[in-house]
Amino acid sequence: MQKLLDGVEFDPSFLKKLPTNILNALDEIMGLGVELSLVGGSVRDLILNDNLGNDLDIEWRPSKGQSFADLSSILENTLVEKYSGEILSFGVLRLIIDKYELELSPPRKEFYQENEFPYGHSDFKIEIDEALSVKEAFIRRDLTINAIGIKLGDKSKLIDPFNGLADLQNKLIAPCGPTFFNDPVRLLRAIRFRLKFNFEFSEELEIGLKNFNLSKLSHFYFLSEAMKGPDFFKHLKILFDIIDTQKIVPPKFYSDVQFFRDYFKLSESINNAESLLKILFSQDRVVSDDEIKWLNKSTGIKKSQILLLKKNGN
């Protein structure tokens, strides 16, 4: 991987990987007086694999002295209808252009109320603030490798406030800051990226594992984060090992999912609930009625359909 440094110019030719209509949309947005920085997984994958992907996470700021509120209104009025857009929570503007999804986010910080501990995935307050430094705005992101940005323009510039480039070089999964451990889903994401890239947890992350509290982890994220990764059962085995060895508070449904331990010997890439069920039912082991109830609640697949898959699987 090419050695890169924070603040250096980044060859803007990487934008040629995008189709003309996406480039035109970006030019149109910047022409409104907006400064754009590509950030997150697309930058990470560009550096690792020379691939931008179709999901573009972009932070925007005023660039020509307009008020933040006025410019936000201009963006919404100009872009939503033209690009099949919608306004999401936290002031995020999502645009759909052909196969591409652009999410334009204003600089914001997230903070937690101490009296609300333990926290769930969205148990934080936000404050949108155009005056935030890049480091202050990017610290809300989970991992250092997902907090690398590229400021777009005639002279694209690399942004790396948390040394994510070094962590890519050293194959480390490291948190951006201490609030990382407040969100139970971030543990699952750390495991997913560790398996996806064959990286290791950083020393800081290893030490901080004991600070997680998973009591508010939902069934949905428990399954969906594992399904997004390359090895569903290895993902769960790592998660279970962390819960048991670090003695962290587990999900409320932890006792209901112990049956997955019987499948840890498998190595499977699973991308949806139905494929998971087919694999479970194709094994010699009998899936109990209680397990079927849990799978019904967690996957959203009707019990009758699960029983049909079970019949076909066996």
H or E stretch at 62 = strand 55-62
- Quote the CA–CA distance of 199 and 268 in Å, as a whole number: 19
- pLDDT tens digits, 179-236: 999 999 999 999 999 999 999 999 999 999 999 999 999 999 999 999 999 999 999 9
Q: Could you give the number of structural domains in the chain? A: 2
Is position 260 within any domain? yes
Which residue segment(s) compose the domain that 306 sits in? 172-313
Separation of alpha carbons 12 and 153, rounded Å? 8
Q: Do 228 and 186 sit in the same domain of this protein?
A: yes
53-57, 109-113, 201-205: least confidently modelled range? 109-113
Residues 42 and 136 occupy one common structural domain: yes
φ, ψ for residue 142, nearest 5 deg:
-75, -60
Higher pLDDT, 248 or 123: 248
Same domain, 79 and 64: yes
Domain presence at residue 165: yes
One-letter amino acid for residue 50 of the chain: D
Domain identity same for 286 and 203: yes
Residues 22 and 154 in one domain: yes
* Domain assignment present for 126: yes
Tokens of 62: 């005023």
Q: Give pLDDT, residue 237.
A: 98
Q: Which three-class secondary structure state does DSSP give residue 87? A: strand
Is the pLDDT at 314 greater than 70? The verdict is: no
Q: Nearest 5°: phi and psi at 29?
A: -65, -45
Q: Are residues 34 and 115 in the same domain?
A: yes
Q: How far apart are the first and last CA of the chain?
A: 47
154, 250: one domain: no
pTM: 0.92
Question: If you search the block for the tokens 């064959």, which residue do you land on?
Answer: 198
From the list 51, 7, 27, the residue with the least C-alpha distance to 156 is 7
Same domain, 151 and 196: no
Residue 1 lies in a domain: no
107 and 149 together in one domain:
yes
Q: Highest-confidence range of 69-78, 109-118, 147-156, 228-237, by mean pLDDT?
A: 228-237
Band (68; pLDDT cuts 50, 70, 90):
confident
The pLDDT assigned to 7 comes to 56
Determine, yes or no, domain membership for 202. yes
Task: Specify whether 294 is located in the same domain as 218.
Answer: yes
In a domain, 6, yes or no: no
Q: Check residue 208 and give its pLDDT.
A: 97
Residues 144 and 271 in one domain: no
Single out the residue in 117, 135, 169 at which a domain terminates.
169
